[in-house]
Amino acid sequence: MRIVLDTNCLLAILPKVSAYRPVFDAYRSERFELAVSTSILAEYEEILSARTTPAIARNVLELINRQPNTILSTVYYQWGIITTDYDDNKFVDCALAVSANYIVTNDRHFNQIREHDFPVIACLRLDAFMALLPWITLHQPLFHKQTLLSFADVARIVCC
């Protein structure tokens, strides 16, 4: 499975005491791919440096760059789908460039994606993505016929 992780969710999964830490641990265990672009990495660095320390920001970015399950995307087209917060478009553009399964975000600006029939982009809130972790493996599609989780199950927890 391949995801794009919004910065607000990255901040939530990092603390060792966070309820969302299993998402970070699953990433480090290579259970899913994290797609990023240079503009996403720049935002990660900016926000992490402001909300933590420069050393923590550097360590997190180095980890992301070293992980074999990190996909560095080159974005060739900017869709401009989100008009309420244009900076959020970097996540949409990256997701489309790498054919990500989901954008994981708690940001309500991504609700605008639902207003567009094309391109198709799926968003999950962080708690919904965490609920999927037991079924996620790196090379198994979530909707594979042998997967225990049905499309209807996912539809119940998908939001955005």
Residue-by-residue pLDDT tens, the chain, 160 positions: 999 999 999 999 999 999 999 999 999 999 999 999 999 999 999 999 999 999 999 999 999 999 999 999 987 776 667 656 667 889 999 998 999 999 999 877 656 666 666 666 788 899 999 999 988 876 654 444 334 444 444 545 544 4
Residue 149 pLDDT:
44
pTM of the predicted model, to two decimals?
0.80
Residue 78 pLDDT:
66
Domain interval for residue 30: 2-157
Residue 30 pLDDT:
94
Residues β-bridged to residue 2 = 33
Domain total of the chain: 1
Signed CA dihedral, 23, 40, 120, 30: sign only: negative
CATH code of the domain in which 109 resides: 3.40.50.1010
Contacts of 142 (CB under 8 A, 6+ apart): 1, 101, 132, 135, 136, 149, 154
